[in-house]
Chain A
Amino acid sequence: TQLLEQSPQFLSIQEGENLTVYCNSSSVFSSLQWYRQEPGEGPVLLVTVVTGGEVKKLKRLTFQFGDARKDSSLHITAAQPGDTGLYLCASRYGQNFVFGPGTRLSVLP
């Protein structure tokens, strides 16, 4: 059983479209991280959200942390082929870090 669930598992869209991916848990987290991973590389941190209801923007990416700190979303506006990759959410759970299984995004030119 995954502590962090992500949806959708796969997403293929055309360049210029908007999309939202989700990260959900039954547990409350003190903070949540979003990473992007490209083939053959390690995950790269995009953002950390800490406060319930928090919204952070990173150029065309908008991240939201749910009010109850049990869910988060990542919205991409006008997706570009360079956004292609595996998007992972992660959080600390006790002494461990846990990761969701990821959303694999493919943006077609």
Chain B
Amino acid sequence: DAGITQSPRHKVTETGTPVTLRCHQTENHRYMYWYRQDPGHGLRLIHYSYGVKDTDKGEVSDGYSVSRSKTEDFLLTLESATSSQTSVYFCAIQPGTSDDTQYFGPGTRLTVL
């Protein structure tokens, strides 16, 4: 257990509404990641962070923004949700810089109607 929680765990929203997902970690790791998981695609990286206010885009960043004002929290925002953003979202932390191992949160299932 790497002390990662995600909230909410489930959310249903309507197209065009803003949505924010939260990832919280208790162990002060610098590196945090947001992924989405869809059938046939595996996990795809949306955004990542190397520290407070230090974020960068991943493979599928269009339509998403992130913020990291505290080490323990990494927020993912969908500014105007679309049906194509219906997915399961996972947050992950990477404990070490020389190790590519990641530990994942339990996920948030988001449905955009």
Q: Which positions in A face B, CB cutoff 8 Å?
A: 2, 4, 30-31, 33, 40-45, 48, 88, 90-92, 95-102
Contacts and interface: CB of A to CB of B under 8 A. Distances in A.
B7 to A, nearest CB: 14
Interface of B: 4, 33, 35, 40-45, 48, 56, 58-59, 90, 92, 99-107
B42, B56, B107: which has the most chain A beta carbons within 10 Å? B42
A41 B1 CA distance: 12
A96 B103 CA distance: 15
A100 B40 CA distance: 9
A41 B37 CA distance: 12
B35, B43, B92: which has the most chain A beta carbons within 10 Å? B43
A63 B84 CA distance: 36
Given A48-B99, A92-B100, A95-B56, A41 B106 contact: yes
Contacts of B106: 40-42
Q: Which applies to chain B's interface (DSSP): helix, strand, loop or mixed?
A: strand
Contacts of A40: 106-107
Contacts of B101: 33, 45, 48
Contacts of B104: 42-44
Among all A-B residue pairs, the 7 with the closest Cβ atoms: A42-B104, A99-B42, A99-B43, A101-B42, A92-B100, A43-B104, A96-B45
B107 A31 contact: no
Contacts of A101: 40-42
Contacts of B99: 48
A45 B103 contact: yes
Nearest to B104: A42
Given A42-B107, A99-B42, A101-B42, 9 more contacts: A33-B101, A42-B105, A43-B90, A88-B43, A90-B100, A95-B56, A99-B35, A101-B40, A102-B42
